[in-house]
Structure formats: C-alpha cells, structure tokens
Amino acid sequence: MTHSRIEKDTLGVVRVPINKYWGAQTERSRKNFKIGPEASMPIEIIHAFGFLKKAAAHVNFEFGFLSKKKKDMISLVCDEIINEKLNDQFPLVIWQTGSGTHTNMNINEVISNRAHVLMGKELGKFQPLIHPNDDVNMSQSSNDTFSTAMHIAAYQKLVKKTIPSIQELKKNFEKKSKFFQNIIKIGRTHLMDATPITLGQEFSGYVSQIDHGLNVIEKTLDHLSELAIGGTAVGTGLNTPKGYDKKITEYICELTGFPFKVAKNKFEAISSHDAIVESHSAIKQIAVSLIKISNDIRFLSSGPRSGIGEIYIPENEPGSSMMPGKVNPTQCEAIIMVCTQIIGNDMSISMAGSSGNYELNVSKPLMAYNFLQSAQLLADACVSFSSFCVMGIQPNYKRIKEFLDKSLMLVTALNTHIGYEKSAEIAKFAYKNNTTLKEEAIRLGYLTIEEFEKFVNPSKMV
C-alpha cells in the first residue's frame, strides 16, 4: 500500500505524503532544507497568510479575474487556516529561501489541494480545479505576500499580546510605587550609600522606564501597519490591476480588525524591512530596562540575612537541591534571560535587515521568526514576572530603618549649614570610630543636639 502520491511542478515529479495537502514545491523545500527542524515557520505567519489569501481571492473576484466558486473555496480553506485547523500542513523551517517563497507556495498548495478535496475530489487524482499559482497566488508575488504576512503577524502579536502584558506589569509597579511612597530608605549610587529616597520613588523610576518603552513600541505600530501587498516582485505592482493594493488592504483590515494601510513606498517595503528593525529595537529597549529593574529587585531582596534584604519577594519554589530552606529570585532570573535573548535577537534582526540586495531583502523568514519570538517571550515574561514577583513584593521595614539610621550619607544635609569640609570630617570620624553622625557632630563641636536633629531629618531630604 503506497504512502505517497505524485505531485508535479516546473522541475518535474515529486512524491508527497499521501495524507498531506502540500504539493511539489513544499516537498522540495522540506527535503532540501533539513536545517534545524525546531525552527519551524512561525504559525502566526501562516495565519497571517490566511487573511491575506482570503482577501486576495475576494479582490480578484471583484475585479472579474476569479470565479465566485473559486473565491468561495479559497476563502473556506483560508478560514480553516486562520482557525488553526490545518496547522500540521505547514512543515517548512525558516532556513529556506530568503524571500519566503517556499512558505508562500506551501500556503498556495495547501489551499489548492484542500479545496480540491472539499469539492469531492481525491488527492493525487485529476488536476486541482484551483491552481496554486494561477488562482491562489493571482496578482501576488512571494516578495510582497511574505513581507505583508510579516507585518500582519508582527502587528497582531504586539497589539494582542505584548503591549497588554507590558501594560499589566506597569500597572502593578504603579500600585507598588504608590503603596511604598512614604517608606524612606537609603539611596545608592555606584553601589554605595547615597542620600535618602523613598521606596516609592525608587519604584516610580521603574514605572517610568516601562512607560517610556511602552510608548516607543506603540509609536512603531504606524510604520508596522504599512503593507507591501500589491507591489508584487519588485514594488512596481506588475500583474495587478489599478487599485488592487488599496482594495486588498481594505479587506485585510476588515478581516483582522486592525488599521493596516498601503505602504507609502513598496520598493522600500519589499527590499528593506526598516519597520521590523525599528519595532524590534523598541522591544529591545524595554528588554534593557527590564534587566536593570530585575537586577535591582533581586539585589534589594538578597539575603535573607547576609544581603541587602530591604524588600521581600514571594517564595515560589525551593531554590536548591542541596541547601535546605534556600529560596531564590527565580522570576528575576527568568526575565533577565528572556531579555538577554531579545537583545541577541535584535542583533540578528539588525543584520538581517541589512541583507537587502537591490529590490529584495533576502532574510525575511529569519526576521519574522526572531521578531515573533521576542514579542511572545516578552509578553509571557512580563505576565510571569508581574504575577509571581512584583505583585507580592513587600517592604522589610526593620531592615530599611536599620540601613537608614546607620547611613553616613545623611550628613549631606549639613552641607548648607556647616559646609562640605566639616560635614565630610563628621562622616569620616563616624565611620572610623563606629559611632553615629550625631555623636561626632557634637564631639567635634560643630552642632548642638537640637541643631543636628533639626538639620538631619530624612523625611525632609526626599
């Protein structure tokens, strides 16, 4: 009993698994690019193609190039793709042709053969009634369709997943900042004691970092919403009717519910991917911020007896297989690793973005893969960090007061009363003699008790 069927393309005959809807070009890619099977083409790209191919079928029908029956059948299969009913029909990896042609043809072939079956025909018998190139790919090129699918997938991922997750993290940091607003603690610069600050002020800095990064990501959406579709091979729109680009973009907007628009310059949209580079750079920016924030939190919670220990973080799981009772800042460590991966992805995207030669960028699959991975990782990590760490942070009042009372940098408040030199002398003697600032200020005769207590008031220094 045979387990394969015959499929043909311009290079000849290929045997394809009998229970799969893909055709000859997909099978050739599957056999010729056995590189890192774990790096499959992101399913978000496949779903984006579902919207795109459905929109193309409707527009081609309106222009009179496609029959109603073909339009309906293509649309039916596209709905199955969008609704994840055909996920196992897209086996290709990102390590393929840099234009994404193989994936575009994978989509075309699956739509063609699946429609063939839905019309009551048997796979491998008779020529499909809907041709993968002439019908499904009508008025398109892989160069403009893959570019468009990249933008659809990236835009949707940011709006549906990444941005809401960052907003949730920001909201929880805001709550903590307000709750901690009146808790005075010692500040630190150069990892050394500095003047006082409130814990709420410290956390407000984190809120501001996240908010700024969020705003930068949101600003990149406008450029990311531009679609290359209608540019076909090089941006000229060869083989498309007048108005095709605008019409298909309108359909994509209707199907996705997002405000996509025709690319201002299709030559740039196909030959370069500056919008992807720009948007991912914004993702990288917030990743950099989150590494700083996460490090602060794990250092502030370090201990429990030999570290700083100014805050408590949730004890989620045992931290050691050998040391009983040990608990580690695992959420901080996880998000730091995620953000490090994102920074690496950004370098790959930057290099891939520069890999355009004349009228075509030839690293599109890599850019799509890394972008979507970063956007998903950041979303997941923000949710995890927010839920299992930030929401449970509590101040260690005793430890905070202990450090504040012992700090030598409170002496800074005396600068405007007795001058820098005398203030420095008080601090140096207090450190040398293991005494307090008050004791040394009085011993040196620079201040009375009443004057010291009036001038050195942490609540007035924040």
Q: Which of 3, 190, 306, 459 is catalytic?
A: 190
**Residue 265 marked ligand-binding:** no
* Residue 436 known to bind ligand: no
| Phi/psi at 443 (5° precision) | -60, -40
Query: What does the radius of gyration of the chain's CA atoms come to, in whole angstroms?
Result: 30
Longest dimension (CA), the chain: 105
DSSP characters over 281-335:
HHHHHHHHHHHHHHHHHHHHT--SSSS---EE----S---SSSTT----HHHHHH
Kind of pairing, strands 360-361 and 356-357? antiparallel
C-beta separation of 342 from 377 below 8 A? yes
Region of residue 435 (left: phi > 0; alpha: psi -120 to 50; beta: else):
beta
348 annotated binding-site participant: no
Tell me if 204 is assigned to a ligand binding site. no
**Active-site residue flag, 190:** yes
Is 326 labelled as part of a ligand binding site? yes
Is residue 240 part of an annotated ligand binding site?
no
**141 annotated among ligand-binding-site residues:** yes
In 358-462, the DSSP E strands lie at 360-361, 394-395
The one-letter code for the residue type at 184 is I
Of the candidates 204, 302, 320, 374, the residue annotated as catalytic is 320
Question: Given its phi and psi angles, is residue 197 left (phi above 0), alpha (psi -120 to 50 degrees) or beta?
Answer: beta
Q: Is 120 left (phi over 0), alpha (psi -120 to 50) or beta?
A: left
Tell whether residue 132 is among the known ligand binding residues: yes
With 0-12 / 13-18 / 19 or more C-beta atoms within 10 angstroms meaning exposed / middle / buried, residue 298 is buried
- The annotation status of 355 as a binding-site residue, yes or no, is no
Q: Which two tokens stand for residue 408?
A: 């030598």
Q: Would you name the residues annotated as active-site residues?
A: 190, 320
Binding residues: 99-101, 131-134, 141-143, 189, 321, 326-328
Binding residues for substrate: 99-101, 131-134, 141-143, 189, 321, 326-328
